[in-house]
Amino acid sequence: MNTLDAQVQKYVNDGWAVESRTETQAVVTKKKRIGWFFNIVLSVLTGGLWLLVVLYKVINRKTERVVLSA
């Protein structure tokens, strides 16, 4: 197994997805996590008003992208 394959496998094991792959380069991506417990508690305490913030966070969730090279 070459070093690029090993790097890609390490990222995949950590929950990243392979977006594209060539012989010398790979791009892996991962969406940023949303802390659901805290948001659910705030939604209950505010009578559902916090759901607007949660919806905004879900729609505009950032994606981390890493380019790996051999």
Per-residue pLDDT of the chain (70 residues; tens, 9 = 90+): 589 999 999 999 999 999 999 999 999 999 998 889 999 999 999 999 999 999 999 999 999 999 999 8
Give the count of alpha carbons within 13 A of 29, CB side only.
Answer: 7
- In the chain, the N- to C-terminal Cα span, in Å, equals 12
Q: Note whether 32 and 61 are within 8 A (CB).
A: yes
